[in-house]
Structure 1
Amino acid sequence: MKKYDLLILGFGKGGKTLAKTASAQGKQIAVVEQSQKMYGGTCINIGCIPSKTLVHEGLESGSFNQAFELKEEVVTALNKKNYHNLADDENITVLDYKASFKSNTEVDLLDEQGKVVDTLTADDIVINTGAIPVIPDIKGIKESKHLYDSTGIMNLREQPKRLVIVGGGYISLEFASMFSNFGTEVTVLEANDKLMAREDKEIVSHAIKDLEDKGVKFELGAQTSEFEDKDGYTIAKTNKGDFEAEAVLLAIGRKPNTDLNLENTDIKLGERGEIEVNNQLETAVKHIYAIGDVKGGMQFTYISLDDFRIVKDKLFGSGARTTENRGAVPYTVFIDPPLSRVGLTAKEAKEQGYEIKEGKLPVNNIPRHKINNDPRGLFKIVIDATTNKILGATLYGLQSEEIINLLKLAIDQNINYTVLRDNIYTHPTMMESFNDLFNI
């Protein structure tokens, strides 16, 4: 049995960054990654980077083939770079096996046949195995040759004329927007009666209209009961009718990947199958941590990176950093144009008892929209009327994915909204919209 200072299960953002940090401290680290295609983690290989490359290229060229070729080049280069960043470090050993807990202190390494080839132990163990797609139990789902999860749909060799997406969440909407830009006919089947129910209703109505104007069709309240393959396409059978397509994307959601024989440990799982952790990301076993998607919560690569900071501070610092002081978390839905959010909506703020002021600015009132040649969108902010502090913002429009980060900073630093209102900004930019947006 081999002993290390630190054992990391999974090659994701938080884990790989922690490995390099521990190496700089002179520690001996083992990183176990089951798939060579996942060097660097979900974001680089099957998540943010490939999907946003496709989104960007779809907007730039509208060419399916060109976009997918570029995506493959980008992913291959980053996968290789990430592997060598760790494997070439004299203090880090990368092991291509499946990890399986033998006890609270021992982890078996399994080959492709499930045979134990080695057993490792370490002073500290970090679980960084991410999340996997939820595959619903629907008749015909295992037999169909045209069904894909979010990974498979990004490896298509031919552009489908029609795409049906089962599920209406954020991942679904991003792919719907992306494929419609390539010219594919897209239909979204959502079981609920609303899309983006947690977002500001007015902005959602703008976003849905823009998607529909691009040709995306939405069927709400659609319960999918069966898939049936015909010659070269699949029929999705629902209570709203049958929908045919050359490709069907299953976008029901993602769940924590805990296939690690955790029953051999004292690690506890939550109601949704996530690994339970405290505010320093320790599991029920004090020397074992869980970071990134596997612990549940928001599934963003930048959360995994902040998880790294918390574990780093616990192992090598003061231990003051926790999940409770990471501040507001912004996010962007990369539809066309992007929808970005941080903090509370007006509805949420009122429900929490705040007296609010609300600012609203259509994108077509921002001079920059003429240069962008895109008038679509709406910016909204929510202010605490008592303290003048910013409670939240939802920005729907070009470059919102960049601007939202400044609002996160303003919220975390308790900056009075009038500071942003009265600041001087370069012109012509989307950022100068703050002069009007905050003029309330």
Structure 2
Amino acid sequence: MKKYDLVVIGFGKGGKTIAKFAAGQGKSVAVIEKSKAMYGGTCINVGCVPSKVLVHDSIEGVQFDDGLKRKQQVVDALNNKNYHNLSDDSAIEVLDYTARFKSNEEVELYDEAGEVVEIITGDNIIINTGATPVIPAIEGVKTSQHLYDSTGIMNLKEQPKRLVIIGGGYISLEFASTFANYGTEVTVLEHGKAIMPREDKKVAAEVVRILEDKGVKFILEADTTEIADQDGFTVVKTTQGSFKADAVLLAVGREPNTDLGLEHTDIELGDRGEIKTDEYLRTTVDSIYALGDVKGGMQFTYISLDDFRIVKDQLFGEGKRSTENRGAVPYSVFIDPPLSRVGLTAEEAIDEGYDILENTLPVNQIPRHKINNDPRGLFTAVVDKKTGYILGASLLGKESEELINQIKLAMDYNISYEVLRDNIYTHPTMSESFNDLFKMA
């Protein structure tokens, strides 16, 4: 049995980064990855990078087939770069096997035939196995030839004329926007009563309006009951009627990858099947940590990267960094134009007892929109009236994915909204919108 200083299960953002850092500290490292297609993790192979290439190219007017080709070129290049970044390091061994725990300390490596080829152990073990799309128990799901998850929909042989998306969450909306830009007829089936119910209501309504202007149809309170293939197409049957499709995307959430033989360990799972961790990302076994999507919570690659920072501080630093002190976490939904959010909405702030100041700024009042030739969108900001600190912002509009990070910094460092309001910005830019957005009544 071979022993390493650090064993990393999964080649994701947090895992690959802690592996490289540990190797740089003179530690022996094993990185176990069962799929060569996943070197580098979800983001670069089947998540944010390929999907955003398609988003970008759909906006730029690139043809669907050409967008798919460029997407694959980008993925292949990053996959190869990530593999060699670790495999070319003499302190790191990349092991192409399936990992399963034999005990709290031992990890069995299985080949494609399901045979154990080796058992390894490490002083510390990192679980970084990510998450996969949820496949609901709908009649016809296992037999349909036109059904795809978020990975499969990016590998179509040809552009569908009609796309039905089951689920109305953020992944669903990104694909709805992208395929609509390519000219596909898109229908979104949402079982709830609203799209983006946790977002600012004004902003969510504007998102729906913009997507409907692209031709996207939203069917609310629709429960899918059956997916039935016909001659060359599929019929999606729901409580709100039936819908014909050349392709169907299942986008009803993602679940942690925990098929790791955890029953042979003292690692505990949470209510949603995630690996339980404390604020330092330790599992219920002190020498085992979990990073990224497998531990539940926000499924962003930058969260996985910050998870790396926490574990690095545990293993090589002072142990002070934790999930409790990483600050406000922004996110962007890459519809066209993108929606970016950090902190609280006005409704949430009021519910939490704040006396607030709020302002709303239509994008068509920002001078830069004339140059961008894109007046769509709405910016909102919420401030604590007592302290002047920013409580949150929702930015729907071009370049919002960049702007939101400036607001995050202001929130983390308790910078008054007046600083952003009165700051000097270059012109003509989208960031100078802060001069007007933060003019609170």
2:261 corresponds to which letter in structure 1?
N
1:49-68 alignment runs, 5 A limit: 49-68=49-68
1:153 corresponds to which letter in structure 2?
I
Where 2:225 maps in the other structure, the secondary structure is: strand
Q: 2:438, 2:82 → 1: CA distance?
A: 42
1:192 corresponds to which letter in structure 2?
G
Q: 1:139, 1:157 → 2: CA distance?
A: 25
Q: 2:62, 2:241 → 1: CA distance?
A: 31
Q: 2:181, 2:361 → 1: CA distance?
A: 26
Which position in structure 1 is the counterpart of 2:78?
78
Q: Deviations over 1:264-322 (max 9, x none)?
A: 00000000000000000000000000000000000000000000000000000000000
1:279 corresponds to which letter in structure 2?
E
Which position in structure 2 is the counterpart of 1:164?
164
Q: Deviations over 1:22-59 (max 9, x none)?
A: 01100000000010000000000000000000000110
Which position in structure 2 is the counterpart of 1:375?
375
Q: 1:439, 1:189 → 2: CA distance?
A: 39
- Contact 1:188/1:218, CA 8 A, preserved across alignment: yes
1:44 corresponds to which letter in structure 2?
I
Which position in structure 1 is the counterpart of 2:353?
353
Q: 2:63, 2:427 → 1: CA distance?
A: 33
Which position in structure 2 is the counterpart of 1:132?
132
| 1:62 CA drift (Å) | 4.0
Q: How many residue pairs are counted as aligned between the two chains?
A: 440
Q: 2:176, 2:228 → 1: CA distance?
A: 22
Q: 1:242, 1:434 → 2: CA distance?
A: 46
Which position in structure 1 is the counterpart of 2:328?
328
Q: 1:197, 1:114 → 2: CA distance?
A: 44
Which position in structure 2 is the counterpart of 1:5?
5
2:148 corresponds to which letter in structure 1?
Y
Root-mean-square deviation over aligned CA pairs: 0.5
Where 1:173 maps in the other structure, the secondary structure is: helix
Which position in structure 2 is the counterpart of 1:205?
205
2:78 corresponds to which letter in structure 1?
L
Any stretches of 5+ residues in structure 2 without a counterpart?
none
Q: 2:9, 2:2 → 1: CA distance?
A: 15
Q: 2:193, 2:342 → 1: CA distance?
A: 24
1:27-426 alignment runs, 5 A limit: 27-426=27-426
Where 2:19 maps in the other structure, the secondary structure is: helix
1:422 corresponds to which letter in structure 2?
D
Q: Deviations over 1:39-92 (max 9, x none)?
A: 000000000000000000110124101110100000000000000000000000
Q: 2:116, 2:233 → 1: CA distance?
A: 42
1:144 corresponds to which letter in structure 2?
S
| 1:157 CA drift (Å) | 1.2
Q: Deviations over 1:349-387 (max 9, x none)?
A: 000000000011100000000000000001000000000
- Contact 1:62/1:181, CA 8 A, preserved across alignment: no
Any stretches of 5+ residues in structure 1 without a counterpart?
none
Q: 1:66, 1:7 → 2: CA distance?
A: 40
Where 2:6 maps in the other structure, the secondary structure is: strand
Counting aligned pairs with the same residue, the percent is: 68
Which position in structure 2 is the counterpart of 1:23?
23
1:313 corresponds to which letter in structure 2?
D
1:226 corresponds to which letter in structure 2?
E
Q: 2:439, 2:168 → 1: CA distance?
A: 35
- Contact 1:346/1:382, CA 8 A, preserved across alignment: yes
> TM-score, normalising length from structure 1?
1.00
Q: 1:371, 1:415 → 2: CA distance?
A: 30
| 1:232 CA drift (Å) | 1.2
